[in-house]
């Protein structure tokens, strides 16, 4: 149950970051490359954690990670 709540919270967090990025862009006079790079890195890290939790939940904790 805690894993499901953590997964949902992670999804909400990543969507919040994406929404904030989209809403802030016009207010700041456009988007520059550094802003995009920072957003992509943060968003990718959040989604990676989200997807790991989803996979973990599907396998009932039996997931082998390969690096």
Write the DSSP assignment of 14-59 as a string of letters. Answer: HHHHHHHHHHHHHHTTS--HHHHHHHHHHHHHHHHHHHHHHHHHHT
Cα four-point dihedral sign 25, 27, 16, 34: positive
Largest CA-CA distance found in the chain, in angstroms, rounded: 48
Q: Model confidence over 9-55: pLDDT tens digits?
A: 999 999 999 998 888 766 655 666 678 888 999 999 999 999 999 98
Q: Scan for tokens 């499901």, then name that residue.
A: 4
Is pTM beyond 0.75? Reply is no
């Amino acid at each position: 149950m805690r894993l499901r709540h953590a997964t949902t919270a992670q999804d909400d967090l990543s969507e919040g970051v994406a929404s904030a990025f989209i809403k802030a862009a016009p207010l700041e006079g456009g988007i520059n490359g550094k802003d995009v790079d920072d957003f992509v890195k943060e968003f990718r890290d959040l989604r990676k954690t989200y997807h790991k939790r989803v996979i973990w939940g599907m396998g009932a904790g039996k997931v082998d990670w390969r690096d």
